[in-house]
Amino acid sequence: MEKEYKRMLKKFFRNPSGVLGLALLFFFIFVAIFAPVIAPPQPSNKYEPYMMPIVTWSPDPQPPSKEHPFGVSERRDIFYGVVWGTRTAFRIGLIVTGVSTLIGLFIGSISAYYGGWIDEILMRITDIFLSIPFLIAAIVLTTLLGTGLDKVMIAMIVFGWMGTARLIRGNILQAKEEQYVLAAKAIGVSTPGIIVKHLLPNTIFPVLIQASMRMGSLVITAAILSFLGLGAPQGYSDWGAILNYARNWMLGAHGEALKYWYTIVFPGTAMVLFVLAWNLIGDTLRDIFDPRLRI
Amino acid sequence: MTRKDEALLSVRHLVKHFPIRAGIFKRIVAWVKAVDGVDFDIYEGETLGLVGESGCGKTTIGMTLLGLYPPTGGSVYFNGEDITPYLLPRWKVRSYLKQTYVNHFKKLSGDEIEKLPQEVRRYAEVYFNDHKGNTESFVRHFTENRKEKQKAIRREMQIVFQDPYSSLNPRMRIGNIIGEAVDVHGLASSSAERRRMVAEILQKVGLYPEYAMRYPHEFSGGQRQRIGIARALILNPKLVVADEAVSALDVSIRSQILNLMEDLQREFQLTYLFISHDLSVIKHISDRVAVMYLGKIVEVAPKKKLFDRPLHPYTVSLMSAIPIPDPDYKKRRVILKGDVPSPINPPSGCRFHPRCPIAREVCSKEEPPLKEVEEDRKVACFFAGEIS
């Protein structure tokens, strides 16, 4: 197995897009970890470092300058927001992907292993969740729960596990006919033991790939919800929230369409690169684990 | 070699039907009658060869005996004890016990009960003496400590699978594949003891103890099959079901594995149910042979008798298909016409009659019972021995 891992690592590093993705990811991890150094919070909001400081009283955005390298939008420093927003992005991505993947794994593997009525019921529930348009569901849910980043995350978890459940179900349906599963049953291994020790290790890789791809797109979804005003509170460092500030300035000034470009470009670029990093990594993992899918 | 007085494993009228479902409501539209009323005994220390063509239900029998498929009907006795309740899902145990024992006993008088087969009579005693005819308490006798009893059965009966490539989990080390059984049954008190047990069994099957740290893909087919045997034997079972255990191996490795299995049989006093479609393998390893056709056993006999003078026309045709490596030898071959009928809709009467060279009218109407025609030899044919 060590050999196999080594071989996979080698393959990964021979793939330029994988290396690029990993480099981007490491860059974001670096920014997230060293956020207090890169953009030190002012003494006044030391206890709430995620709140973007108000740097001016003028309501108009201000272009990039020495003190505010990414400019100012809605009185707040964009650079500070983008740097600290990296942490928010990771938090949303990791928690939502982690929890929804676990839920999906649980439901999918139970469904596939037991089959019959249990499968039927669980899969119909999955279908119901799939049939609800995500944005509408998220809006309704946040209306019920109230706005806030945690509520947005709950909405994304509640409506984000179905893909994993279906994927793992299909894989386990295939793997459960293998003789090593029968052998484990003959030995007397319990059902959870068979699922965790025998079925999941042989079926989980596509799920991990899917999860890494989703990690990026979830950040976009969170940004959409923030943009709609459902997400982070006023002034919270979140890429979507910064874009939300740009709403009034998107069209530029009279005769100068691109006057306020910095209100969109910096947070937008951060988001695009973040999504790109995860997608490149996911693509590379998929190529390594399943060469048949390469187009 | 065989002890005729008490069978280690007795199978009585074992039935396994698989439902075919269709439509949105998953309605059952038909049943595949994979095993349809099979009786046989395996005596301690012997090897019973189970032979038949693909799709006749050989493997299903093996899987059902181990509880990998729940039986549809019939009973399995291990050491005289009815283990069927532990093979069935819990909710079926009650109706099984009622059908097999209670309803039966209630109708019979004392004399009639005396005449019942031994294995059933034993439970009549349990029912009337230990439980004073109380059905609930009798059912509880079988549902109490269910998990422990199931585990105990697993320790006594193990299986070696056909495909050495799919029978080992590719993501586990050999030591863990073999040692898993030790963990599940709590046989080792420390990890050092577990390692020692794994090393010992690896040596017994002719592998090096160092292999415990490797992964399955590092081994050849023959070595993998040895690992599969080690996994079955570490629990020290009495009965091992070898389900086509050598069919996937090439001929030179096959004989090595067969010899290994014979050596292990002597060393551990194993009893084998050896399932194979390969007559030469069966001839090599079996003491007695059971021949299956379309979910039924058509003939059971000691190996020598069966190969020297087959009595059932199906056995005759099988035997005549064995190639004899002598170009001058001309023999009469019994070539069967047509295909094996579908097990969904088997022929009426004797299942072999549409292809049988000596079939008569009665064969399509009545089903011939498997009855003793000579000493320890049973045949299910009205005209046994008419061609040979």
Q: Regarding beta strands B73-78 and B7-22, do their DSSP bridges make them parallel or antiparallel, or are they unpaired?
A: antiparallel
Q: What is the pLDDT of residues B346-386, one digit of tens each?
A: 898 899 999 888 888 898 899 999 988 888 899 999 988 88
Amino acid code (one letter) for B378: K
B60 contacts B30 by C-beta, under 8 angstroms: no
Residue-level pLDDT at B121: 85
Residue-level pLDDT at B378: 92
Sheet of strand B157-160, all strands in order from the earlier edge strand to the far edge: B157-160, B239-243, B271-276, B47-51, B288-293, B296-302, B377-379, B371-374
Residue-level pLDDT at B197: 95
Which of B185, B215, B231 faces A1 most closely, judged by CB atoms? Answer: B215
The pLDDT of residue B20 is above 60: yes
ipTM given for this complex: 0.87
Confidence of residue B1 (pLDDT cuts 50, 70, 90): very low
B161 touches chain A (CB under 8 A): yes
B19 touches chain A (CB under 8 A): no
CA distance B332 to A288: 58
The pLDDT of residue B213 is above 50: yes
Which residues of chain A fall below pLDDT 70? 1-4, 45, 252-253, 290-295
Are B184 and A189 an interchain contact pair (Cβ–Cβ within 8 Å)? yes
CA atoms within 13 A on the CB side of A145: 19
Q: What percent of chain B has pLDDT over 70?
A: 98
B382 touches chain A (CB under 8 A): no
B214 touches chain A (CB under 8 A): no
A64 contacts A121 by C-beta, under 8 angstroms: no
Are B154 and A188 an interchain contact pair (Cβ–Cβ within 8 Å)? yes
Chain A nearest-CA distance from B155, in A, is: 8
Are A187 and B154 an interchain contact pair (Cβ–Cβ within 8 Å)? yes
Chain A nearest-CA distance from B287, in A, is: 25
Q: Using H for helix, E for strand and C for coil, what is the string for A143-161?
A: HHHCCCHHHHHHHHHHCCC
Q: Which of A180, A196, A198, A199 would best serve as a mutation to test chain B binding (most B beta carbons within 10 A)?
A: A180
For residue B209, give the 3-state DSSP assignment: helix
B212 contacts B198 by C-beta, under 8 angstroms: yes
DSSP 8-class letter at B218: G
The pLDDT of residue B344 is above 60: yes
Closest alpha carbon to A168 in A108, A124, A116? A108
B186 touches chain A (CB under 8 A): no
A68 touches chain B (CB under 8 A): no
Closest alpha carbon to B343 in B10, B76, B33, B121? B33
Alpha helix stretches (DSSP H) within B144-294: 146-156, 174-184, 191-204, 221-233, 251-268, 279-285
Residue-level pLDDT at B3: 46
Q: Regarding beta strands B7-22 and B27-43, do their DSSP bridges make them parallel or antiparallel, or are they unpaired?
A: antiparallel
Strand partners, B16: B35
CA angle, A27 then A30 then A32, to 5°: 110
Q: What is the pLDDT of residues A131-171, one digit of tens each?
A: 998 888 888 888 888 878 888 888 889 988 999 999 999 99
CA distance A164 to A104: 5
A152 contacts A231 by C-beta, under 8 angstroms: yes
A180 interaction partners in chain B (CB closer than 8 Å): 166-169, 177
**A262-289 and A78-114 are packed helices; what angle lies between their axes, rounded to 10 degrees?**
30
Nearest CA in chain B to A182: B68
Residue-level pLDDT at B285: 93
For residue B67, give the 3-state DSSP assignment: coil
Chain A nearest-CA distance from B39, in A, is: 22
Whole-prediction pTM? 0.82
Chain A nearest-CA distance from B68, in A, is: 7
Q: Chain-centre distance of CA A143, in angstroms?
A: 22
B215 interaction partners in chain A (CB closer than 8 Å): 1, 4
